[in-house]
Amino acid sequence: MTTQTLKMMFAAAWIAFAAPAAEAEHSAYLKAQTERSLQEALANESVSLLEARLPESSASEQLDSLRERLNDLLTAGFLDEVGALTVTDADSDSVIAQSESGAYLEVDEDSSVFRFRVGGQTARVEASARRLTLYELENLAWKVLAGPLADYVPLSEADELVFLGSQYLIEDEADIETNQTTERVVGHIALFGREVEGIFVVGAGSKLALWFTGAGNLMGFDVNWPRYERHAETQATVSIEDVWARFDAYAEQEVPRPGQAGDASVSTRRFECGYVDLGARKRRHASIQAGCFAHVDGFSDDGAVRIAQAEVMPIGEPVERDPNWPATKAMLGEDPDPCADDAPGCGGPPGNPSGPAPFFVTTMTHMEGGWADALPGRASLFVKHAAQLRLGARLAMLHDATLTVESEIPFSSAQIIYGDDVMAELHDRYGHGVGTHCDIGPRINAGTGIDYTALMESAVGATGGPSLFDIGFESSLTPTFLSAFAGLHLANFPDELVDLYVEDFLLAYGFSLTPGAGGGPGASLGLTERGVLELVAEWRVRKVLVDELVGAENNLGCSGGGGLSDWVQAAELADFAYVDGVVGYHFLPTLSGARPPGWTNPAIFGGLYHEPAPVLLEDRVHPVFLDDALDLQEDLGGDVLMSPGSIGRLEAFDGTTGDLTLADVAGALDALEDAVAAQNPTKVGKATFYLPAAIFTEANEPVLAEFFDEVQSRFVEPGRASWASQREVYDAVVAWEEFKKMAVSAP
Amino acid sequence: MKPTPKRSSKSNFPLGTVRALLVMFAAASAANAGEFGTRCQEAYQNNWQTKVSSLYEICGGFNAELDDTDTQDFYYDLGGSTCGFSTCDASTSLAGVDTVDLFYTATHGGTTARNAYLTMFEEGSYEYSTDWRYGDDNDQVAIFSQYACTVMENHDDRIWDRWGPAFRGGVYVVTGSHDLVYSSTATEDVGRDYADGLQKSKSVRDAWFDGNADFHLDQDLAVMAVGSSSANCWNRVDQIRWQNLTSFQRLRNIDMTHWCRSRITR
């Protein structure tokens, strides 16, 4: 009987009678390492340098030996049957044998490193509901270590096997519909390390993990257990003060002192000094020497990401050069970067993406401002529209297409009133785009006979607060805007939304919230009747509603909204990042010299108002950033993306706006060909089909499917274009602009 | 005296271009091998996030190992913001996730209630998981691997909100961390070891766990898949390998009824 076996037997016997320890992730031994190391590092003691000896047995020989030992473990009742392990891969690095049940046994080229696992299903049937405690786990592990695996974890007289704690293999799952998560503990992992002459070995080397099922059977092991040979040469170690000085000078990242938070709100969780063995690949080329291992984690300064950094610092005097340990080289005045010269195997830093700009196929579906979805007694209309969208969303998803649905006040309001989050469903479940429809048009009140005064009193009065008219409001709003309030009872809205809704409206118009302090729309700001802030107010009301439905982060765009005021500035002030659905109305604030020939205001009002714009296809397929609407030419560094691209209504490509037919699909594909051909490859390109909600019917499903499939096979699969939402186009243009800047500034 | 910083935060465009050409040449001569792409970021524009040391060694090791048996389509940084993730994901020249069978990335990660996210190079820029939909075409990405903290956590039972959109496209397996993974001299080999496990026909789960586990550092590793039933989901976790991807059906949209996740934790 060896000394090692005796040690293990005594340890196991002691554990068997000891009181169970409280469940914890790290053992008392490991925690004590941090306490001791923080106080004194290695207490200025001299240590013998070590050398890791490659085992005499080859990887294949070790594999054969371990296969026999697995049989012993099976016979001894430590292990369930795993089936025949057949060598499936053997190269210069390692050898692996696998069984049909998914078990495998793997031995590294350095055969002191090996691993075994039973198959996943084998372990799963013995899963448990709770984690074994440290006490239970350690007790199980010592029995295995004292028995069949003892030969594979050799210890010299100077060595000690030490228990480090536990990890667990957990499996959880859920039915997607119910989201009821269940969890089980499949593996209970006991971790061990080594002391050499009373000095702990830190790093991946000299580590041992024994995996157990919930029934206590062995389900695997990871062994990294070299033989160390002591050099006659010794190395002094520096004081804890000097250790910190070395971390300060040579660590790649800050290592905060205990109790201190670092620059990025990180702290040092573990701090262990001892021999440093960085694992099989690294230890081959240098002596094992003294060092301290700091485990630093926490949050970034902005709290957005977790930080987890480990710093390893040599603490010997003199430091031994280790080609795979950058800090040793830095302390000896060398370049610490092993890949500084792009050496073979290092890979070097990555490059940047490059190539032609992408082209996107998009759609628009407008839930219009003149609809009566929110009017009393018109719930059936809303239900019909919601059903159309759901049909379209599902069909598009099944055919890999992406839609974008943009909503005006009536449909947005109805979703809130009826508690049906159809737009959120489209975005979250089906991955389609969402946005705001700004269906306001220019301010030309043709007179609709609607009693706006009554409508506004009805709407705002429902909050119990003062009517807008009590504070000096005189309606000069567009009919479309006011009609959207028809039947809109704010009492039906959540309080939070009412606050936003009314307050946004009033503030944007320059009203004081104090009754009687107003003076007409925008009067206090000296605005003209068609001022930008009026546009902002109208857009904001629409945006707030859609924000409420889908989240502001997903609602970046306003579709439409062109008029006599500078809609670019209005978009920026209303917190819209892009404007799509660009038509003739968007040229109204543009200087005459920057307009297409013949696009005067009368011409626009007289018939061009809804024509796709810009006129030239090679201009229309390129979204551009703008500062203002004066010329609609790209303004470098502009704040709002004009995202046009309209190439037509899907059901109108056959020359009629009647039924959707295969002729429409053929025409649409031809138009898409023209749009793709018009792209300047240095700019992001885009084409938009208008798909009205009414097109999403069961009768139209075959033709819609044909359209989606043809776009997929002719444009997407060959890599000529990608489906995208309007929002995704915005993201891509931003990314492309950033990329171009980087490419220009790179050396 | 502090050593010279290991990397410039500025990317090396000419080198990337040369590498891209080499990759294109290699791709043309190895049509039958699996295709993979790698995007990693150690340092960030104007130091807007903490530098992650040793990530390029991790990624370089992964590339060097897997390149022995398979075809590397690109090795790029995470500049270019969202290009390649939520948009341009089908563009090889823009390092799109969906242009390869296996996509490997290493950077800072995080989560919100709705999203898992990866940190991009540009200041303030993240890539959000609910904007992802991977694997729509059978030739698109099958394995999406992230050496990034917390992207696969589920303490709030909302992991499906975060990852459902990506899985609905048909991607088979997503790997990452449910809490912390360390970057360090001590972890420089984790990319190489992961690739080695893939080459040896381990399941993607076992390759991820074995390659990244350390047993001195507390590495919080996770692997997630979907299935048409609970049993189907676990069967896919147990059986899906780099070499047998095509023998499994892509599950898209309503095909999947369960998600399942395996993780190693403290």
Distance, CA of A60 to CA of A64 (rounded, Å): 6
Whether residue B264 and residue A252 make contact (CB cut-off 8 A), yes or no, is: no
Distance, CA of A292 to CA of A314 (rounded, Å): 6
> Is residue A702 reached through a cis peptide bond, with omega within 30 degrees of 0 on the bond before it?
no
Comparing C-alpha atoms, which of A35, A28, A15, A24 is closest to residue A166? A24
pLDDT at A694: 96
Partners of A188 in the β-ladder: A168, A212
User: If DSSP codes are grouped into helix, strand and coil, which group holds residue A283?
Assistant: helix
Whether residue B56 and residue A204 make contact (CB cut-off 8 A), yes or no, is: no
**List of chain A residues whose C-beta atoms are within 8 Å of the C-beta of residue B94:** 353-355, 358
pLDDT at A526: 30
Q: Which residues contact A430 (CB under 8 A, 6 or more apart)?
A: A393, A394, A396, A397
Whether B239 contacts A102, CB under 8 Å: yes
pLDDT at A323 over 90: no
* Lookup result for tokens 């050499």: A196
Distance, CA of A85 to CA of A78 (rounded, Å): 17
Sheet with A227-237: list strands edge to edge.
A47-53, A227-237, A316-317
B210 closest CB neighbour out of A115, A354, A360:
A115
* Lookup result for tokens 């923080």: A38
pLDDT at B249: 95
Write phi, then psi, for A575 (nearest 5 degrees): 70, 30
Mutate to test the interface with B, among A731, A740, A741 (most CBs of B within 10 A): A731
Cα-Cα end-to-end distance for chain A: 67
Q: Which residues contact A443 (CB under 8 A, 6 or more apart)?
A: A476, A478, A529, A530, A563, A564
CA distance B94 to chain A (A): 5
Whether residue A736 and residue B79 make contact (CB cut-off 8 A), yes or no, is: no
Distance, CA of A264 to CA of A34 (rounded, Å): 22
Higher-confidence residue: B147 or A147?
B147
Chain B, residues 14-53, CB within 8 A of chain A, namely 14-20, 38-42, 49-53
pLDDT at A231 over 70: yes
pLDDT at A480: 40
B266 closest CB neighbour out of A25, A181, A729:
A25
* Lookup result for tokens 């001569």: B29
Comparing C-alpha atoms, which of A632, A654, A532 is closest to residue A583? A632
pLDDT at A542 over 80: yes
**List of chain A residues whose C-beta atoms are within 8 Å of the C-beta of residue B215:** 167, 191, 204, 207-209, 222, 224
Kindly state the helix (H) or strand (E) to which residue B228 belongs, with its residue range. Answer: none
DSSP conformational letter for A83: -
Q: Give the lowest-confidence range in A568-572, A664-668, A732-736, B231-235.
A: A732-736
pLDDT at A303 over 60: yes
Cα-Cα end-to-end distance for chain B: 37
Digit-coded pLDDT (tens) for A584-608: 999 988 888 889 989 988 888 788 9
Distance, CA of B217 to CA of B209 (rounded, Å): 13
- Mean per-residue pLDDT for B253-265? 95
* Lookup result for tokens 């959540």: A494
Whether residue A282 and residue B258 make contact (CB cut-off 8 A), yes or no, is: no
Whether residue B16 and residue A352 make contact (CB cut-off 8 A), yes or no, is: yes
pLDDT at B142: 97
Whether residue A354 and residue B20 make contact (CB cut-off 8 A), yes or no, is: yes
pLDDT at A513 over 50: no
Q: Which residue of B has its CA nearest to A401?
A: B136
| Six-digit token string for A72 | 């012993």
Whether A365 contacts A692, CB under 8 Å: yes
Helices (H), A284-338: 326-331
Whether B117 contacts B129, CB under 8 Å: yes
Residue B65 pLDDT level (bands cut at 50, 70, 90) = very high
Whether residue B126 and residue A304 make contact (CB cut-off 8 A), yes or no, is: yes
Residue A519 pLDDT level (bands cut at 50, 70, 90) = very low
Q: Which residues contact A703 (CB under 8 A, 6 or more apart)?
A: A660, A661, A662, A664, A665
DSSP code per residue over A169-184: EEEEEEETTT--EEEE
Q: Sign of the CA dihedral A728, A730, A734, A739?
A: positive
pLDDT at A161: 96
**List of chain B residues whose C-beta atoms are within 8 Å of the C-beta of residue A740:** none
Comparing C-alpha atoms, which of B157, B260, B8, B64 is closest to residue A120? B260
Residue-averaged pLDDT of chain A: 82
pLDDT at A1: 38
Partners of A367 in the β-ladder: A407
Digit-coded pLDDT (tens) for B198-218: 999 999 999 999 999 989 999
- Mean per-residue pLDDT for A719-743? 81
Digit-coded pLDDT (tens) for A431-452: 899 999 998 766 533 333 333 3
Whether A650 contacts A628, CB under 8 Å: no
Rg of chain A, C-alpha, whole Å: 36
Whether A170 contacts B265, CB under 8 Å: yes
Kindly state the helix (H) or strand (E) to which residue B161 belongs, with its residue range. Answer: helix B159-167
pLDDT at A677: 94
pLDDT at B10 over 70: no
Residue-averaged pLDDT of chain B: 85
B257 touches chain A (CB under 8 A): yes
Q: Helix A379-398 and helix A409-418: axis angle, to 10°?
A: 100
Residue A9 pLDDT level (bands cut at 50, 70, 90) = very low
Whether A106 contacts A280, CB under 8 Å: no
Residue A23 pLDDT level (bands cut at 50, 70, 90) = very low
- pTM of the complete model: 0.67
Angle (CA) A281 B53 B131, round 5° = 110
Residue A477 pLDDT level (bands cut at 50, 70, 90) = very low
**Residue A504: left if φ>0, alpha if ψ -120 to 50, beta else—which one?**
alpha
Q: Which residue of A has its CA nearest to B156?
A: A181
